[in-house]
Structure 1
Amino acid sequence: MIGCLCIHGFTGGPYEVEPLAQYLQERTNWLIETPCLPGHGEQLQLKGVTYDQWLQTAEEELQKLLNKCDTVYLVGFSMGGVIAGYLATKYSVQKLVLLSAAVYYINPKQMFSDIRGMVRDSFTGRLKENPLFVRYKTKIVHTPLTATLEFRKLVSEVRPMLKEISVPTLIVQGEKDGIVPLKSAHYLYKTIRSPVKKLLFLPSSGHLVCHGPDRQQLFGEVEKFLQENLS
């Protein structure tokens, strides 16, 4: 049996990777898991949660899949990509997919573009309809500074380990991502030592690539990558 673990991002939840998980579920008989990391989900409760709890939960979910499946794939989005990279250095998984993986974060140029859009909408009375404003307003209110520091600690700990990744890896990056800059994807491609690795840039997508305008291309490329060389 084939298993696939999909890990969401910081201040997010399984909904961030759900469209891709559903796409794969409809086209395969794989066991696909989309766990929720501690403090995350639709209602954020991040106060007092530490980064090692996120790692531990993801590790436990991977161990469950490894006990059930002969072949296991890892898919990680944003912070989940950092966690997936960490797991790929410790466990025998067959393939790795990194979506908007946050080894670097905050893309100033795109962020200012997004802010300009919010300002424009505020002058036309449409700010409350702006999806970025709605999403990030909620996250800012419910994300304590301590949680952000834990996220930074996680990235700092895992980044030096990425050179140890040796499994086939697909690196996906939205070109309009205001959170994770393009240099993050380039860094991953340069650093990961696997001889089989691919960069996929999505020209119209922001950070949430599984929900973006290029998502059908994304889903197809991920499926193709994971299905390749299956006996």
Structure 2
Amino acid sequence: MSKAVMTVHGFLTDIKDFGRLYDYLDFYDEVVPYKVPGHNDGESFDKFTVDATVRGMLQCFDNLAAKHDTVDVVGFSMGGALTTYIAVRRPVNKAVMISPSNKYFNLTSPLAMIRFYLRYIVKSLKTRTDDSRKELRNYLQNTAVSAGIAIKRIFPSVDLYTFNVFADLMELCDKVVAECSPVATKSLLLWGELDELVPPASVEFVESNFSNLTKVILPDVGHGMLYTNRDNVIIDHVVDFLSDGKVVANVPFEEKA
């Protein structure tokens, strides 16, 4: 049986959002990253519109469905929200939503982050071991990387960003929420408790519409989880889910600068 997978990246980034995940999808006959309009190299963000994004994504899926028996979809951030949209409108075999931005702005994130780091700082002070200090440094590093990704979503450089582009993102998220309906697609949701952008309400929204959902809540990662040295954990979960446990990725830990 022929099978394909389609990835959908986030806002103001590109297909590199998924990093090392691509290296572990070789059990598919075809892997196609969908490039959101306005997000390709040298392309104007003026091309990023709700209609163009949705139309292009559905066409990409239809092209794959015409060639393969099953098509899975993996989305991150805005791409995660778009994955919920396509799962309602197309026969998606499996859907993976990583930090899906069906809802935006996590006002509880600073408090969650303070609680998290207080816990690890206390642990580090109590044990005073090299391992505990290294663990704390890793978490601080991951938070800095993840926060950088989040800031890029909201305050990117002026030459790449206009208010209208961000307004289009909000319109797109609103459309996804308004037009979503209950589905039984086999699905996986991954979300970090330290997510700087996506609130718990987005997780609850997905839960309320996807009846066949596996939910993985990670206590030690933020929105940019795939960019941190915790990406191996996320990739392991995704590959295990997509392959029905037949492929054990066992992604090695990789120190990231």
Which band: TM-score by shorter chain? 0.7 to 0.9
Structure 1: runs of 5+ lacking an equivalent? 115-129
The count of residues paired between Structure 1 and Structure 2 equals 211
- The equivalent residue for 2:52 is 53
Alpha-carbon displacement from aligned partner over 1:111-162 (angstroms, at most 9, x marks no partner): 6888xxxxxxxxxxxxxxx654586287242221111111111111111333
* Alpha-carbon distance in 1 for matches of 2:148, 2:95: 32
> Runs ≥4 in structure 1, deviation > 6 angstroms?
none
Q: Give the secondary-structure state (helix, strand or coil) at the position aligned to 1:205.
A: coil
Matches within 5 A, 1:1-231: 1-25=2-26, 28-41=27-40, 45-47=44-46, 49-110=48-109, 131=145, 132-133=147-148, 136=152, 139-141=156-158, 142-192=160-210, 194=211, 196-228=212-244
Structure 2: runs of 5+ lacking an equivalent? 114-143, 247-257
Aligned-pair CA distance for 1:23: 2.3
Q: Give the secondary-structure state (helix, strand or coil) at the position aligned to 1:68.
A: coil
AA in 2 matched with 1:166: A
AA in 2 matched with 1:216: N
Aligned-pair CA distance for 1:71: 1.0
- The equivalent residue for 2:134 is none
8 Å contact from structure 1 (residues 189, 198) kept in 2? no
| TM-score, normalised by the number of residues in structure 1 | 0.81
Identity %, equivalent residues: 23
* Alpha-carbon distance in 2 for matches of 1:229, 1:90: 27
Describe the shift of the 1:138–1:160 C-alpha distance in structure 2 as closer, same or farther (beyond 3 A).
closer
* Alpha-carbon distance in 2 for matches of 1:214, 1:42: 28
Structure 1 vs Structure 2 CA RMSD: 2.5
| TM-score, normalised by the number of residues in structure 2 | 0.74
* Alpha-carbon distance in 2 for matches of 1:190, 1:36: 28
